[in-house]
Amino acid sequence: MKNILVRYKSFWPETSYFILRFSTGLMMCYYHGWSKILGDSDRWARLGNGLTQWIGLDILNVPLGFMAAFSESIGALLLAVGFMTRPTSFLLAFTMLVATIKNITGVGMEKAELSLLFLILSCVIFMRGSGKYSLDQLFFKLK
């Protein structure tokens, strides 16, 4: 009986975390990232412009825009399946931090809500790691 209770107690937290990680990755990729990664260098330059305005290096527009598009698409898919979870969630959190600051300073808190939500989710995933139901767990046997 005790063994069943232990399994039951560990099933729900791991399952709910898997749902959170999986849905965060899929929604980010589908609604925000896929069209950006398939875009051309002009779109990446516009994406990268949000960060290069602050640091003053306009030559980095395209590489930084590509990194943002990569984190919101391929990185989000890796997050969904739980592969390289911490690096991809860190990259996504940084991208969402830049987007949140840009939205707050540009149009106000009303437009920053979604990017702030994805920032918080990415930070939670970064702190928690991949979880039990992930490719990281399967390949690397993380605890």
> Is residue 13 predicted with pLDDT exceeding 90?
no
Domain parsing of the chain, residue ranges: 2-140
Taking residues 58-73, what's their average pLDDT? Answer: 89
pTM reported for the whole predicted model: 0.86
pLDDT of residue 6: 58
DSSP-assigned states of every residue in the chain: -HHHHHHHHHHHHHHHHHHHHHHHHHHHIIIIIHHHHTS-HHHHHHHHHHHHHHH--GGGHHHHHHHHHHHHTHHHHHHHHTSSHHHHHHHHHHHHHHHHHHHHHHT-HHHHHHHHHHHHHHHHHHHH-S-SSSHHHHHH---
Torsion of CA 115, 119, 124, 126, to 10 degrees: 130
Average pLDDT over every residue of 19-38: 94
The number of C-alpha atoms within 13 Å of 37 and in the hemisphere containing its C-beta is: 18
Judge whether residue 74 has pLDDT over 80: yes
Confidence band (pLDDT; 50, 70, 90) for 3?
Answer: low
Tell me what pLDDT residue 5 has. Answer: 55
Reported as a pLDDT band with limits 50, 70 and 90, residue 97 is very high
Of residues 116, 31, 118, 43, the one with CA closest to residue 108 = 116
Q: Residue 61 corresponds to which tokens in the numbers above?
A: 């527009």
Average pLDDT over residues 76-91: 96
pLDDT category, 7, cuts 50, 70, 90? low
